[in-house]
Every structure is written in C-alpha cells, then in structure tokens.
C-alpha cells in the first residue's frame, strides 16, 4: 500500500510521463499506422484521466480517513502501469508484450474505483 505522499508523487510522475509520452507518440508512431495511433491514444487517454484521479485520491487521504483509501491509489497506480504501459509498448512495436497485461491493468483500475466507492459510502465520514 502506498502512502498519501506516495500516491501524490505517483500522480505527479504519471502526469509528467503522460506529457512526455504524448510528445513521443506524435514523433515515433508512423503517420500511416492507424492501429498503433489508436492504441497510443487509448493509453494516453486512460493515463491522463487516472493521473487526475490519483491526485484526487491523494487529496482525500487525511488523518482519520478510511484505511481502504490508500489501497485505491495503490491499485490505480499499478493498473495504470499495466494497462497504459502495455498499450504504449504494443503501439511502439519495440517490445513484445504479453497479451494479458492490459486486461489485468483494466481489472486493477476497476478494483481501484470499486475500493474508492466502498470507502466513500462506508461508515467513515470525511
């Protein structure tokens, strides 16, 4: 489980990486490679949305917050690495990627959102 500070740092690093990868993608992907561009765009969209979500989760974690809250950030960070990371690698064509990494990442992202929902509707108040 990642601490509040670790989740905020993950979000900041993720945001930086997303901007870098947006620029890299516009230069390394072939202009006629529609499938690669589609994969890259999907990875980037999920990456950016979940970076903002990570910042929100870090902001929600305060002293006395529900103990599950950091788990949401941890699962989301791992899910981002597997989901978007595997799509970036597949789109680039530089590294062969096992086919189960993106679905595993998607499941981790879903679990992160579910844990966040459970935490927010639980008995603990903010």
Give per-residue pLDDT as tens, 28-71. 887 678 888 999 999 999 999 999 999 999 999 988 888 888 99
Alpha-carbon gap, residue 102 to 55, rounded angstroms: 22
Reported confidence tier of residue 123, pLDDT bands at 50, 70, 90? low
pLDDT tens profile 94-113: 778 788 899 999 999 999 99
- The overall pTM is greater than 0.85: yes
- Return the pLDDT at 62: 86
Length of the chain: 126
Of 9, 73, 7, 85, which Cα lies nearest the Cα of 46?
A: 85
- Residue 113: phi and psi, rounded to 5, are -65, -40
Work out the angle between the directed axes of helices 101-121 and 69-92 (0-180°, nearest 10): 160
Considering only residues 122 and 81, tell me which one the structure prediction assigns the higher pLDDT.
81
DSSP for 11-80 reads: HHHHHHHHHHHHHHHHHHS-TT-HHHHHHHHHHHHHHHHHHHHHHHHHHH--TT--TTHHHHHHHHHHHH
CB 46 within 8 A of CB 86: no
Most confident range (mean pLDDT) of 22-31, 35-44, 117-126 is: 35-44
> How far apart (Å, rounded) are the C-alpha atoms in residues 112 and 120?
12
């Amino acid at each position: 489980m990642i601490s509040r500070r670790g989740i905020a740092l993950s979000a900041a690093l993720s945001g930086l990486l997303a901007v870098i990868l947006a620029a890299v993608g516009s230069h390394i992907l072939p202009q006629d490679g529609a499938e690669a561009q589609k994969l890259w765009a999907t990875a980037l969209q999920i990456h950016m949305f979940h970076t903002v979500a990570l910042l929100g989760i870090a902001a929600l974690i305060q002293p006395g917050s529900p103990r599950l809250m950091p788990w949401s950030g941890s699962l989301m960070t791992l899910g981002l690495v597997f989901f978007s990371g595997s799509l970036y690698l597949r789109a680039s064509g530089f590294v062969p990627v096992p086919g189960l990494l993106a679905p595993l990442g998607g499941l981790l992202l879903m679990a992160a959102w579910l844990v966040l929902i459970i935490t927010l509707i639980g008995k603990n108040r903010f």
